[in-house]
Amino acid sequence: NAGVTQTPKFQVLKTGQSMTLQCAQDMNHEYMSWYRQDPGMGLRLIHYSVGAGITDQGEVPNGYNVSRSTTEDFPLRLLSAAPSQTSVYFCASRNSWRANSGNTIYFGEGSWLTVV
Amino acid sequence: RKEVEQDPGPFNVPEGATVAFNCTYSNSASQSFFWYRQDCRKEPKLLMSVYSSGNEDGRFTAQLNRASQYISLLIRDSKLSDSATYLCVVTNNKLIFGAGTRLAVHP
């Protein structure tokens, strides 16, 4: 059972380039989300999805797009990379989006992105 | 105001000490609560869920106070291996993380 798989682990981009961070889970989880983590800021929610075909914005969505065409995959696209998007990105999934489900959150190992 | 706020830390404690972290949340509709542990340059990992009645797992005790909208984590008999950042997580229709509290346990 692979859990949550994120790729790439490390990436350097030039300002203005676009790229996609991939996230896949093999646990048939309803809920998937993307976070960025910056020093002293904790994890901030970028976008999330409660099921295939459904996405919504989190706390810091600007500059990022997501789609959820299948239950398994939830890619995060950087449209035109900026130095402010230098961060560590974590994908997370959970069995149910329901707030009271109490399900464990599973994380990918993180993607270290540097924009120069 | 942030939806979830934690003690800023860092907490520097000697081995064997008892240390407590607090976390407050602003959305009274929040229904599930967790403590996660994160080691440097690693993904967060579940430490324990937090139940209304309070719960204990070995040296760790978690409490939830819905009236005052806060959760707490108590670590007894601290070990060097407890050094990490502790994140509180609150759920309504999305998962919201606190900024984390850094704990450093020294010999």
Closest CA relative to residue A73, chosen from A108, A109, A116: A108
Among chain A residues, CA nearest to B91: A99
Confidence bin at B95 (pLDDT 50/70/90): confident
The percentage of chain B sitting over the pLDDT mark of 90, rounded to a whole number, equals: 73
Give me the residue from B34, B43, B98 closest to A42, CB to CB. B98
CA A104 to mean position of chain CA atoms: 17
Confidence bin at A102 (pLDDT 50/70/90): low
Residue B86 CB contacts under 8 Å (≥ 6 apart), including other chains: B6, B21, B35, B36, B37, B38, B47, B73, B100, B101, B102, B103
- At residue A55, the pLDDT reads 96
Are the C-beta atoms of residues A22 and A28 closer than 8 Å to each other?
no
CA distance linking residue A82 with residue A63, whole number of Å: 9
Q: What is the mean pLDDT of residues B19-46?
A: 91
Q: Tell me the shortest Cα–Cα distance from B19 to chain A, in angstroms.
A: 21
Residue B72 CB contacts under 8 Å (≥ 6 apart), including other chains: B20, B21, B22, B23, B62, B63, B65
CA B11 to mean position of chain CA atoms: 13
Among chain A residues, CA nearest to B6: A42
Looking at residue B66, the DSSP 8-state letter turns out to be T
- pLDDT averaged over chain A? 92
Q: What is the mean pLDDT of residues A47-54?
A: 94
Where are the extended beta strands (E) located within chain A?
A: 4-7, 10-13, 19-25, 31-38, 42-51, 54-57, 64-66, 76-78, 87-94, 105-107, 111-115
Residue B44 CB contacts under 8 Å (≥ 6 apart), including other chains: A43, A90, A105, A107, B36, B37, B38, B87, B97
Contact call for A97 and B93, based on CB within 8 A:
yes
Type of residue at A7: T
pLDDT per residue over A36-45, tens digit each? 999 877 889 9
Where are the extended beta strands (E) located within A8-63?
A: 10-13, 19-25, 31-38, 42-51, 54-57
Q: What is the mean pLDDT of residues B3-32?
A: 91
Q: Which positions in chain B touch A99 (Cβ < 8 Å)?
A: 29-32, 91-93
Residue B101 pLDDT greater than 70, yes or no = yes
Give me the residue from A90, A99, A110 closest to B93, CB to CB. A99
Q: Which residues pair with B104 in a beta bridge?
A: B12
Q: Which residues pair with B52 in a beta bridge?
A: none
pLDDT per residue over A58-71, tens digit each? 989 999 999 999 99
